[in-house]
Amino acid sequence: MAIADLHAHTTASDGTFTPRELVERAHQNGLAALAVTDHDTMGGLPEAQAAGAEFGVEIVPGIELSTVFEGKEVHVLGYYYDPTHPALVELTTQMREDRVNRMEKMVVKLQEAGIDITREEIQAEAAGAIGRPHFARVLMKKGYVSTMPEAFEKYLGYGKPGYVSRMKVTPVQAVEVVLAAGGVPVVAHPGLIGKDYLFDELVPHGLIGLEASHPDHDEEKRQHYKTLAAHHGLLATGGSDFHGGGAEHRGELGSVNVPLDVVRQLQAKSAYFQSQNNNAKG
């Protein structure tokens, strides 16, 4: 059966594989399709699409937008959007600028807490959009912590010495921007959010799917979210959330997957939204 992994990251955000390396790995692992879903950026897509043509892997254009709901991080995946749509370009530009500003504030806070860390070290670690995982990797390399979870627990998590809040984007805003760009919005790893009533708010705003299958969901949670998706009339998706080897490693690329038919459903939804948008313009 042809399978797809609908959640993976590259060096354009906090992955350790370049887009080309990621696509080559997908080919080696027998994936028919792969979604590149970097955090708040579309920067890795051109290289991934070129590699997809080379290796015979269908590339699903994706993105993972960082939002906040009731003090909890909520990540909204978007698929098959128009990457030139003004609202999406504006939002992602603002989010990337916020990441840089946040980085500078985090460096200062960590220095004030006695940590030997510089802006240059973080920038060297981050090839693309800067995030807390890049700080965690530097802290690990310098011996302050041994693992990624320890870095967040001691220094980078909410209320810790290096924590700085991110730009306030709501899940509703993210869903609406993805839809405006003709894309398909899906809530990532809902089991890590633990607020199922969020879907009561997002479905009326056009949410299309939820990521039922994820490495951090055990089988009970996967079944729960498949049932919840059916209850709300949502598409149940899935992916490995692959970041590459190292600290964020949750499992191999493609270790969590969905049938290729799910990709076709995403495409069909996007085609419908884009035709509706074109009709509205006309």
- Regarding whether 177 and 255 lie in a shared domain, the answer is yes
Write down which residue in 132, 156, 180 finishes a domain.
156
- Regarding whether 142 and 69 lie in a shared domain, the answer is no
Task: Identify the sign of the CA torsion 174, 177, 181, 182.
Answer: positive
- Regarding whether 185 and 120 lie in a shared domain, the answer is no
- Regarding whether 124 and 29 lie in a shared domain, the answer is no
**pTM (2 d.p.):** 0.88
- Structure-block tokens of residue 120: 């240059």
Using 50, 70 and 90 to split pLDDT, how confident is the model at 165? confident
**Domain of residue 243, residue span:** 3-92+167-281
Please state, for a pLDDT cut of 70, what percent of the chain lies above it: 98
Q: Look at residue 44 and tell me if it is in a domain.
A: yes
Q: Look at residue 79 and tell me if it is in a domain.
A: yes
Contact between 36 and 134 under an 8 Å Cβ cutoff? The reply is no
Q: Look up the CATH number of the domain holding residue 221.
A: 3.20.20.140
End-to-end CA distance of the chain: 41
User: Which residues on neighbouring strands pair with residue 237, listed in sequence order?
Assistant: 211
**Which H, E and C letters describe the chain, residue by residue?**
CCEEECCECCCCCCCCCCHHHHHHHHHHCCCCEEEECCECCCCCHHHHHHHHHHHCCEEEEEEEEEEEECCEEEEEEEECCCCCCHHHHHHHHHHHHHHHHHHHHHHHHHHHCCCCCCHHHHHHHCCCCCCHHHHHHHHHHCCCCCCHHHHHHHHHCCCCCCCCCCCCCCHHHHHHHHHHCCCEEEECCHHHCCCCCHHHHHHHHCCCEEEEECCCCCHHHHHHHHHHHHHHCCEEEECCCECCCCCCCCCCCCCCCEEHHHHHHHHHHHHHHHHHHHHHHC
Q: Look up the CATH number of the domain holding residue 128.
A: 1.10.150.650
| Residues 48-91 pLDDT 10s | 999 999 999 999 999 999 999 998 889 999 999 999 999 999 99
**In the prediction, which pLDDT does 246 show?**
61
- Regarding whether 269 and 207 lie in a shared domain, the answer is yes
| Residues 179-196 pLDDT 10s | 999 999 999 999 999 999
**What is the CB neighbour count within 10 angstroms for residue 133?**
24
Structural domain count, the chain: 2
- Structure-block tokens of residue 100: 């840089």
- Regarding whether 252 and 146 lie in a shared domain, the answer is no
- Regarding whether 62 and 49 lie in a shared domain, the answer is yes
| Residues 105-139 pLDDT 10s | 999 999 999 999 999 999 888 877 788 889 999 99
| Residues 28-56 pLDDT 10s | 999 999 999 999 999 999 999 999 999 99
- Regarding whether 244 and 125 lie in a shared domain, the answer is no
Q: Look at residue 162 and tell me if it is in a domain.
A: no
- Regarding whether 195 and 254 lie in a shared domain, the answer is yes
